[in-house]
A and B are shown apart, each in its own frame.
Chain A
Amino acid sequence: MRMAGRSVSATFVLHAVAWLIALIWLVPFLGVFMASISPLSEVSRGWWKFDSFTPTFKNYIGAWNHPAAPISRGMLNSLKIAIPATIFPVLMASIAAYGFARFSFRGSNFLFIVVVALMTLPQQMIAVPLFRIMNQLGAVDSYAGLTVVHSAWGIPWILYFMRNYFSALPIEVEEAAKVDGASDWRIFLQIVMPMALPAVASSSVLQFMWVWSDFFLALILIYSPTKLLATQRVPLLRGVYHVDWGILAAGSIIVMAVPIIVFALMQRYYIRGMVGWVSK
Chain B
Amino acid sequence: MGQTRGRIFFFLPALVLLAVFVVYPVANTVWLSFQTPDGEFAFFRNYADVLSEPEIVDLRGFKRGFPYGALIHNIIWIVIHLPLTVMLGLILAVILRDVKGGVLIKSIVFLGMVTPMVVGGIILRFLFDGSVGILPSFLALFGVKQRTLTAHPDTALFALIAGSLWLWTPFSMVLYSAGLETIPDYVYEAAVIDGASPLRIFFLITVPLLRPVTGVVVTMTFLWVLKIFDIVFVATMGGPGGASNVLALQMYMYAFREFNPNAAAVVATFLMIVALVVSIPTFRALRGDN
Contact = CB atoms under 8 A, between A and B. Distances in A.
A3 interface: yes
Contact of B248 (A26, A124, A280): A124
Contacts of A31: 123, 126-127, 133-134
Contacts, number: 278
A277 B248 contact: no
A4 B193 CA distance: 11
Contact of B198 (A6, A92, A131, A262): A6
B118 to A, nearest CB: 4
A159 B229 CA distance: 26
A21 interface: yes
Contact of B105 (A5, A22, A96, A220): A22
A167 B289 CA distance: 12
A113 B290 CA distance: 13
B26 A125 contact: yes
Interface in B95-114: 95-102, 104-105, 108-109, 111-112, 114
Interface of A: 1-6, 10, 14-15, 17-19, 21-22, 25-29, 31-32, 35, 43-44, 46-48, 92-93, 95-96, 98-100, 103, 111, 113, 115-118, 120-131, 133, 148-149, 151-153, 155-156, 159, 164, 167, 183-185, 188, 209, 212-213, 215-216, 219-220, 231-232, 234-235, 245, 248-249, 252, 255-256, 259-260, 262-263, 270-271, 274-275, 277-280
Interface in B101-148: 101-102, 104-105, 108-109, 111-112, 114-119, 121-124, 126-127, 131-134, 137
A280 B286 CA distance: 10
B115 A278 contact: no
B11 A96 contact: yes
Which of B24, B174, B256, B268 has the largest number of chain A CB atoms within 10 A?
B268
B131 A44 contact: yes
B contacts with A: majority SS: helix
**Chain A, interface SS category:** helix
A279 B285 CA distance: 12
Which of B15, B25, B124, B251 lies at the interface centre, i.e. has the most chain A CB atoms within 10 A of its CB? B25
Interface stretch (B44-52, B58-66, B76-84, B270-278): B270-278
